Amino acid sequence: MPSSAANNHVFPNTTTFLKDTNLTEPHTAEDPGISFYIYYYGMICIIMCINITGNTLVIRAVMRTPNLRTPCNHYIVSLAVTDLLIGVIYPLYNVAHLELVPEVSRALGQWGVCRFLVSEVLALSTSCSYHLVAITVTRYVAILYPLRYHLYFTTKSTKYTIYSIWVLSHCTCIFMYTLYNPEKYIGVCRYELIFSITHLIILLIIQYFLPLLIMLSLYARIVRIARHQAKAIALQERVLRNKSHAFNFIRRQELKSTVMVSVLLGFYIIVWTPMIIYLFFYKITCVENCFQSPFIRATCRILLYMNSAVNVFIYAGRLPEFRKSIQKDITKLQKYLCFCK
């Protein structure tokens, strides 16, 4: 344990700080070098700009276009709000790792601040996952029970579902993390340095595996139903046209459904899997002071953060109404910039 004088040199008002945060000693990880910081924070800044711009355009499009205010689009807007907040808070959480600037990492590394950042990042990520589940359920009902869709998904029921997702996500993370005090806190706000393997397993079950299992099950059923419907339509087409046209129609419909499902689930798995592998490796196989490439950790975080920026293009960008509204906003912005010049 460093001496009191040394502690006061690293952390001002150390006695009070230790009492409030359970800090044992400052983190002394090796400096990864300037190239790491350029890569890590450069990518974070780029994704943040895309995130804030894209999600703001989606929210604005629904607010100014009455035809877009459908129950399913309410989920998309709520998802955009969630991703927008992640776009702001997640960079703050990552700035807390910036040990190159000790004044910044020290301020954000205080346990009270770190606890808020971690709880909010995880709550918003959980909320994002269950928004994707809700959107999947709406499409599932629309395909299986098209005549009952408008009875099940009204504006009122959609708002209740959205409120429930937000409240339950935040309550779960507040219960798990806000009330938790680590036995040893080294002053660096990084999840894997603070929480136990039990926290990690519970988090991944709630935040990743359970939503993924639900979405995979529903989308598998959606693909089967879509194929049956495509074949039924193709049989009608065959009466009017030739067999070759009907076969091509089936292939096009199946390909369209398969590609859409692959994009939705594939990207969700791609951005989450590296972080899951990294966290389990760190908690289970990595002993104290073992070597870890900072670029691997940074890439895992960048991929996970990218999810909040890409959702807007997957869900809203593919809808013609959203594209038209967003294109109008972009055109107005271009005219405004040209006028300012």
Q: How confident is the model at residue 210 (pLDDT cuts 50, 70, 90)?
A: very high
Instruction: Kindly tell me if the per-residue pLDDT of 65 is higher than 60.
Output: yes
pLDDT in tens, 13-53: 333 333 343 443 444 455 667 888 889 889 999 999 999 98
Domain that holds residue 137: 4-340
CATH of the domain at 332: 1.20.1070.10
pTM: 0.78
Total structural domains in the chain? 1
Q: How confident is the model at residue 284 (pLDDT cuts 50, 70, 90)?
A: low
Question: Which candidate, 295, 293, 301, places its Cα nearest to that of 275?
Answer: 301
Token representation of residue 124 = 């918003």
Token representation of residue 267 = 């990207």
Contact 111, 127 (CB under 8 A): no
For residues 178 and 114, what is the distance between their CA atoms, to the nearest angstrom? 10
